[in-house]
Amino acid sequence: MGAILNVVLPVFAIMAAGYISGRAGILGEDSSRALNGFVYYAALPALFFGSLADTHLASIFHWDFIAVYGLGLLLVLLPSALLIRALSGGGLALNAMHGMSAIFSNTGYMGVPLLLLAFGPEGLLPAIITTALHGTLVIIAGIVVLELSRARDGGSIGALRIAGLAVLRNPLFLSAVAGLFWASSARPLPLSIQNFMDILGAAAGPCALFAIGLFMVGKPLRAGLGEVLWICVLKLVVLPLLVAWLAFFVFELEPLWAKSAVIQAALPTGALVFVLASSYDVYVQRATSVILLSTVLSIVSLSVLFVLLGID
């Protein structure tokens, strides 16, 4: 558990630092929104472009691993979104953010160090693949649904057109496409540009976590606790169990890849869910509670998982 604490506690501590700063009134009332805007429009696009442009596309396409992980996400996302719609009658945006909160893992700040801890350098590639899946396909799918929800008043055809144009202008989508386009050329980025992307992109995770802490000030995080706990169960228990079944028994992946998929699926909800929720002003409070609670609970759940997988 000590090694896992070393990974989880810094994430929690950054959120706590944001909360303390907010309580002290150091950064002003609109600091969370301003910091989130910086993450969404500057730091994350730099991170997406720099990470993808520097990746060999051939190394990402480990199809069995992608199928296992992607199917696991879908098997949790769709039923959870449909269930919350049936129970609460919420709109498309709320249902989508509920489902995303149940599947979006903190692969960057927790997944990478945990896989390196478990498997050494060989754990880096599955960490890169899952991070790319979350950072491109999952986020872009979420943006599409949120834009559709925002544009539905114009009818189905009009909504599709408006949503499509909005996605094409979205900084996360554009940066991901640009990064993949550059990677396809197999040319390295000029060192000055790579350094710029690395420095700016490195701010995304800490700033997003700090913004969560700022947002928590004065908010009743116990509101909707039943729904938040349900999402945490889906994220920390149901999703890794489904991925384990797919990895070990259906696709029969190599042990390192199977265990990597399960660990990545078992991570707490990532801060990008908060960034997306804040940018579209939907599900912000629930997303905050899920990220906070799942991070705390993952100290125990990940420790148990490492024992079950036979990882010292």
Interval 23-41: pLDDT, tens: 888 887 788 888 988 988 9
pLDDT tens digit sequence for 79-134:
888 887 777 767 888 888 999 999 999 887 788 888 888 888 888 788 888 988 88
CB 17 within 8 A of CB 210: yes
Q: Which pLDDT score is estimated for 312?
A: 67
At which residue do the structure tokens 């296992």 appear? 68
Consecutive H or E run containing 89: none
Q: Which helix (H) or strand (E) holds 37?
A: helix 31-38
Hey, where are the domains in the chain?
A: 2-306
Residue 131's nearest CA partner among 143, 120, 145, 116 is 116
How many beta carbons lie within 10 A of that of residue 145, not counting itself? 20
Average pLDDT, the chain: 86
pLDDT of residue 169: 77
Identify the weakest region by mean pLDDT among 89-93, 204-208, 247-251, 297-301: 89-93
Mean pLDDT of 143-158: 69
pTM of the model: 0.83
- The reported pLDDT for the residue numbered 164 is 66
**What number does CATH give the domain 2-306?**
1.20.1530.20
pLDDT tens-digit series, residues 62-83: 899 999 999 999 999 988 888 8
Residue found by looking up tokens 């720099």 in the block: 50
